[in-house]
Amino acid sequence: MELTSLVLQTISTFIGFYIVLLIIRILLSWFPNINWYDAPFSILSQLTDPYLNIFRSFIPPLGGIDFSAILAILLLQVIQATVLPSVARLVVGLQAGFWA
């Protein structure tokens, strides 16, 4: 149980950190003079753009505003707030049934 808890907590922390990176990426996109090929911007772009591009394929930017980022962040928050705790409860329930 402790290993499962540690893994789920690590995933939750990673998701929280990634959400912060996405928000930074979104805020920096408001500055058109940023060169995304220079460090540290290129690193941020390489970390966040593949995930954001998944949502951009469904929701293209409208009027220069990228609404797909809202959906991308919302999905991560749903996973963090509902899926991970559900998996934790499931694992604890399975372990309790296994040891009973």
Q: Which two tokens stand for residue 97?
A: 């049934």
pLDDT exceeds 60 at position 1: no
Q: Read off φ and ψ for residue 55, nearest 5 degrees.
A: -80, -30
pLDDT exceeds 60 at position 85: yes
Strand positions, DSSP E, the chain? none
pTM of the complete model:
0.84
Q: Rounded distance, CA 10 to CA 8, Å?
A: 5
pLDDT exceeds 90 at position 38: no
User: Residue 97 in contact with residue 91, Cβ under 8 Å?
Assistant: no
Reported as a pLDDT band with limits 50, 70 and 90, residue 98 is low
- Per-residue pLDDT, averaged over 63-91, amounts to 89
User: 55-88: buried (b, 16+ CB within 10 Å) or exposed (e) per residue?
Assistant: bbeeeeeeeeebebbeebbeebeeebeeebeeeb
